[in-house]
Chains A and B, each alone.
Chain A
Amino acid sequence: MILVMLRVMALNVIRDRGALAMAFLLPPVIFMIFAAIFLGISGDEMRLRVALGVAEQTAQTKRLEAALRGEDTLRLLPGRENSAEAVASLVAAGEADVGLFVAGDLREAQQPLRVFVDPGKAVAGAMLSGQVQRVLGHSLPEIGLGRTAPLVESLVGGFTPGQAAQLSAALDAIAEGETAEAADGELVGIETVGAPSGSSVIVTYYAGAIAILFLLFSGMQGAATLIEERHAGILDRLAVGPSGTDVVVLGKFLCLILQGVLQVSLIFLIAALVYGVSVVTRLGPWILTTLAAAAAAAGLGLAVASACTTKQQAQTISTFVVLVCSAIGGSMVPRFMMPPWMQDIGWYTPNAWAIEAYHGALWRSDALTALLPQLAWLTTMGLGGVLLALFVSRLRLRLS
């Protein structure tokens, strides 16, 4: 008896080609995505975007820049800033994951290298600091030796003029290519960027990341009622009415946006009350971002539902779309930790734009004009999805 039921279920799975493909396609694809992400986190593929600034160009800073630009693990932005503020603002704007400013003479100044990091990407600061010291030790070893020489001098009671001259000549010789042991010093200081706030940037980040994740889930689920209405003959009935089927799609679009705004409001209510995320002071940008993100999720959901023939198909494809978008778009792991190619693909997901928009609205306190690209992309995704759903729904009435 049990084997009979096993056979029935197995035949059902085998004969539903869509479900079959998804059942065996989804696991390896999701595995590959997460493998790529976590390979990146382990350092093999993670390549930080670095904004570089130099207060005063010297032979040493040029060599340092050349060495950094030659590093596979870093992606230096093109160009060179000339103030710490410019570097910090690039990091704060999210154009670079981390910034490096060469503030003074590398041999003598106190902390001549300043690393600027977004608190949401604290690990990037530590990574860059380590990378810079490694590069210095490898490519500019005289810097470390030069910085430790005064300490050695004080310990031995002072160098004789001959020793001082010999040391200087040796450092110059090393600078010209001879190798020496690496040495550490108080070379690098790490500073955070962004508006001072009582809240955790991580909470702000994940409030946005979880918000778009749930918007996608509820958008897909809500839009699937389109398939039920199609099967129940409701769309057939409405097709002869003056409104046609467009009102069904558009009505669902608006309802899903409203439902999404309410869901996201609850997430950010907790974020504001429990974790002090500054939603109230940034209410306008937050509402616009939420509306745009909800529209994107609703449009995507309706596009999937209109394209699917059965609810089972819609369920499988929805799961695939939500998981892949959330993984690549940064809802599960911050995108700066991903390999560059995956970061590029991430811009095709609503998650990346929504997370970026929430981060800009609530953490960086961006002006509305600065948020326009993100809002425009999300709105375009939403409208594109709903237009596709309208088109496919009309087509289905003709073909069914």
Chain B
Amino acid sequence: MTSTIPPPLVVEGLYVRYGDRPVLEGLDLTLAPGDIYGLLGPNGAGKTTLIRTICGRVRPHNGSIRIAGERGRSSLRHIGLVPQELALYPYLSVRENLEVFGRLSGLSATATEGAISWAGQATGIASRLGDRVDILSGGLKRRVNIAAAILHRPALLILDEPTVGVALDARNGVHDVVVQLSHSGMGILLATHDLDQADALCTRVGFLRHGVISPQGEPRRLVEEAFRQQKQIVLELRQPASAAQAGVLSKAGFTPTNGGYTWMMMAPLGDQSVERLEPALARLGVETREIRLREPGLESLFVELSREAEGVA
């Protein structure tokens, strides 16, 4: 049976240039209702440009964008945008803020009242509607930021780094809200640098590189395809490796992150070399805090893809 609900977002063959510089080069992206799509990529890859183009603020040179089956200016009413900043009036109460954004999203006064009640429940802020925004905690502000974007029940919800600077428990609260909203049928496009967040939350992720999204798919499947039958060896050092030590580690296939404190490499499943690693590192004078073997995740994939982008063999 074919679903009658149009996909929240269909981007086909999107080309965007800033002057002579190509940013998006034939990008394709489709979100189904209920999808939570993690848009990943290094800084400057074009994530913000893609979001701006979807929101009608950048005119593409070629390609098409359909939101809930519609094109052009009228399609924008199906978008709810949660900017990275707290796009709220701090001196107004939560309810007053939601009234403002409800009316400006085209709802009548009566419909706005109903929408505030629904959005308050959906984001878990129903009991704080009377509080001024500037006295709320960071996590609650983030939830209000989301509530203000969903009052008109958009088909597509775009979140740009929704948990930057938020404590871990508050971040989990925001994750719950996003999952709940996806269950209501919204397509959710999540631009993030937080790979753990993308791993835990997203039904699909895509890496934006060289103007296109590739690879893309379910996080687990992408990782399995990239690192079939491989485990990741992670070294946590007590001090950053010296130049000589770094040279040896790099030659052995390790890649540094976290300012040289953490080194990672992929190893075939069942490789016994990890057992010989500790004495070898001791001989090299490298003080290790921890050596562990783990399942590779999105972070491993991201590092691998970044290395490829930089031309590292």
Contacts and interface: CB of A to CB of B under 8 A. Distances in A.
Interface centre among B80, B86, B104, B106 (most CB of A within 10 A): B104
Looking at chain B's contact residues, is the secondary structure mostly helix, strand, loop, or mixed? loop
B84 A233 contact: yes
B57 A231 contact: no
Contact of B104 (A233, A236, A238, A400): A238
Interface in B93-141: 101, 104-106
Looking at chain A's contact residues, is the secondary structure mostly helix, strand, loop, or mixed? helix
B13 interface: no
B307 to A, nearest CB: 33
A247 interface: yes
A233 B90 CA distance: 13
A20 interface: no
24 contacts: A232-B86, A232-B87, A233-B87, A234-B88, A236-B83, A236-B87, A237-B81, A237-B83, A237-B87, A237-B148, A238-B104, A239-B56, A239-B57, A239-B81, A240-B56, A240-B81, A241-B76, A241-B104, A241-B105, A242-B76, A242-B77, A398-B57, A398-B58, A398-B59
Interface string B70-83: 00000011011111
Interface residues of B, number: 24
Interface of A: 231-234, 236-243, 247, 397-398, 400
A236 B88 contact: no
A232 B85 contact: yes
B149 interface: yes
B39 interface: no
Contacts of A239: 55-57, 81
Given A233-B85, A236-B83, A398-B58, 16 more contacts: A232-B85, A234-B89, A236-B55, A236-B87, A237-B81, A237-B83, A237-B101, A238-B101, A239-B56, A240-B76, A241-B76, A241-B77, A241-B106, A242-B105, A247-B104, A397-B57
A2 to B, nearest CB: 33
A378 to B, nearest CB: 30
Contacts of B59: 398
B85 A243 contact: no
A243 to B, nearest CB: 5
Contacts of A232: 85-88
Contacts of B148: 237
B93 to A, nearest CB: 16
Contacts of A241: 76-77, 104-106
Interface string B255-280: 00000000000000000000000000
A240 B85 contact: no
Nearest to A234: B87
